[in-house]
C-alpha cells in the first residue's frame, strides 16, 4: 500500500506539470496565431487612420499635385465587383457542393468535379485574371466591371463548393432519414432539411471565399482595370479598393502612400463589417439551442 501511494503522489505531480505544460503550449500557439493579425491591424490604424476624413469616403481621387480627394469610387467599385462575384460564385458553388454531397456521391463525374475544384483553388489569381481577360475582355474589346466580377466569382466557387460538400456530409444520416420517413421527396429533403441544417457552416464558407476575393488585386488588373472616376456601369472599367491601393502604393508621392494605407485599413474594416453583418443576419434565422 505504501508503495502504491508513493507512486500515485509522484504521478500526481507529474500530471500537474504535464497539464500546465500542455496548457502553456496551447496559450503560446494561440498568441502566435493571433499576434500577426493584431499587429497588422494596429499598424494599419497607425499609418492609415490619420488620412481618413469625410472626403475619403465621399470623393473620387484628385489628380497628382492637387490635395485631398478620396477613394469613394473605389469603395463603390469593390462593392459592385463583389456583388457580381457573389451572385456568380455563391449559387454555383453551393449547387456544386450539393451535387457532390447528395447526388453524385462516389460517381465518376463527382470525382472529376471535386478534383477540378481542388485544382482551381490552387490556380494563381493572376492566371484567373488572364483567363477571364481572354474569355470576356478580348471578345468585348474593352475592360469592364462585369469581367472583374466574373473573375472574382470563379475564384469563389471552389472554396464554397468544397465547404458546402463537407458541411452537408456532416449532417447526421438520422436527420435525412427523418425527412424521408415523413414521405418527403429526396430533392425537397436535401433543400429544406439537409441544406438548412448545414447552413451555418455553408455561410462561413461563403464568407471565407468572399473575404479572400475582396482583397484580390491580380485578377482585376486585366479585367476591371481600375478607374479614377465614378462609375457604376458594368460595361465600363471600374475602380476597386485593392487596385487603387496598389496604384497608390507603387507611386512616388507621399500623399498617395498615406492614402494607400488608409485604403488598406478601410478594405479590412469593410470586410470585417460585411462578414459580421452576414453572420448576424444569418444567426437571427437560426434558433437558439440548435446544435
Partner 1 sequence: MGVGIQVTDLNAWYGANHALLGINMNIPANHVTALIGPSGCGKSTFVRCLNRMHETNATARVSGEVRIGDVDIYAEASPVEIRRRVGMVFQRPNPFPTMSIYDNVASGLRLNGFRNKGVLDEVVERSLQSSALWDEVKDDLHKKSGASLSGGQQQRLCIARALAVDPEVLLMDEPASALDPVSTAKIEDLIFQLKSQYTIVIVTHNMQQAARVAETTGFFLMGKLVEFDSTHKIFTNPTDKRTEDYITGRFG
Positions that interact with partner 1 (CB under 8 A): 172, 174-185, 188-189, 192-193, 196-197, 199, 286-291
Smallest gap from residue 116 Cβ to partner 1 (A): 24
Smallest gap from residue 198 Cβ to partner 1 (A): 9
Of 33 and 174, CB closest to partner 1: 174
Of 199 and 251, CB closest to partner 1: 199
Smallest gap from residue 172 Cβ to partner 1 (A): 7
Smallest gap from residue 280 Cβ to partner 1 (A): 17
Helices (H), the chain: 2-48, 54-58, 72-98, 108-122, 125-132, 138-140, 145-170, 173-181, 186-189, 195-197, 199-214, 218-221, 241-249, 254-284
Region for 51 from its dihedrals, namely left if φ exceeds 0, alpha if ψ lies in -120 to 50, beta otherwise: alpha
91, three cell numbers: 449559387
Smallest gap from residue 101 Cβ to partner 1 (A): 15
Of 5 and 291, CB closest to partner 1: 291
Of 132 and 193, CB closest to partner 1: 193
Burial (CB count <10 Å: 0-12, 13-18, 19+), residue 18: exposed
The distance of Cα 102 from the centroid of its chain, to the nearest Å, equals 25
Taking the C-alpha atoms of residue 18 and residue 242, their distance in angstroms, rounded to an integer, is: 47
Smallest gap from residue 102 Cβ to partner 1 (A): 12
Smallest gap from residue 237 Cβ to partner 1 (A): 43
Of 33 and 290, CB closest to partner 1: 290
Taking the C-alpha atoms of residue 89 and residue 130, their distance in angstroms, rounded to an integer, is: 18
Of 232 and 286, CB closest to partner 1: 286
Q: Residue count of the chain, please give it.
A: 291
Taking the C-alpha atoms of residue 153 and residue 151, their distance in angstroms, rounded to an integer, is: 5
Taking the C-alpha atoms of residue 249 and residue 177, their distance in angstroms, rounded to an integer, is: 56
Of 110 and 269, CB closest to partner 1: 110
Amino acid at each position: 500500500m505504501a508503495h502504491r501511494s508513493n507512486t500515485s503522489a509522484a504521478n500526481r505531480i507529474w500530471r500537474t506539470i504535464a497539464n500546465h505544460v500542455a496548457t502553456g503550449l496551447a496559450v503560446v500557439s494561440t498568441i502566435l496565431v493571433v499576434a500577426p493579425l493584431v499587429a497588422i491591424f494596429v499598424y494599419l490604424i497607425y499609418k492609415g487612420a490619420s488620412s481618413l476624413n469625410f472626403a475619403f469616403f465621399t470623393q473620387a481621387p484628385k489628380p497628382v499635385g492637387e490635395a485631398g480627394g478620396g477613394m469613394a469610387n473605389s469603395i463603390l467599385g469593390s462593392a459592385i465587383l463583389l456583388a457580381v462575384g457573389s451572385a456568380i460564385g455563391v449559387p454555383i458553388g453551393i449547387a456544386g457542393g450539393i451535387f457532390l454531397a447528395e447526388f453524385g456521391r462516389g460517381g465518376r463525374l463527382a470525382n472529376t468535379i471535386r478534383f477540378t475544384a481542388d485544382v482551381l483553388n490552387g490556380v494563381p489569381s493572376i492566371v484567373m485574371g488572364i483567363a477571364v481577360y481572354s474569355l470576356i475582355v478580348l471578345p468585348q474589346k474593352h475592360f469592364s466591371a462585369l469581367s472583374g466580377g466574373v473573375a472574382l466569382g470563379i475564384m469563389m466557387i471552389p472554396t464554397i463548393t468544397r465547404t458546402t460538400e463537407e458541411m452537408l456530409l456532416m449532417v447526421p444520416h438520422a436527420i435525412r432519414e427523418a425527412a424521408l420517413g415523413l414521405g418527403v421527396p429526396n430533392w425537397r429533403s436535401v433543400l429544406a432539411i439537409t441544406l438548412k441544417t448545414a447552413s451555418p457552416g455553408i455561410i462561413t464558407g461563403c464568407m471565407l471565399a468572399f473575404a479572400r476575393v475582396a482583397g484580390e488585386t491580380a485578377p482585376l488588373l486585366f479585367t476591371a482595370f481600375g478607374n479614377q472616376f465614378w462609375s457604376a456601369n458594368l460595361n465600363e472599367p471600374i475602380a476597386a479598393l485593392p487596385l487603387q491601393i496598389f496604384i497608390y502604393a507603387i507611386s512616388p508621392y507621399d500623399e498617395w502612400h498615406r492614402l494607400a494605407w488608409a485604403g488598406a485599413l478601410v478594405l479590412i474594416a469593410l470586410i470585417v463589417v460585411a462578414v459580421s453583418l452576414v453572420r448576424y443576419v444569418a444567426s437571427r434565422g437560426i434558433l437558439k439551442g440548435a446544435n
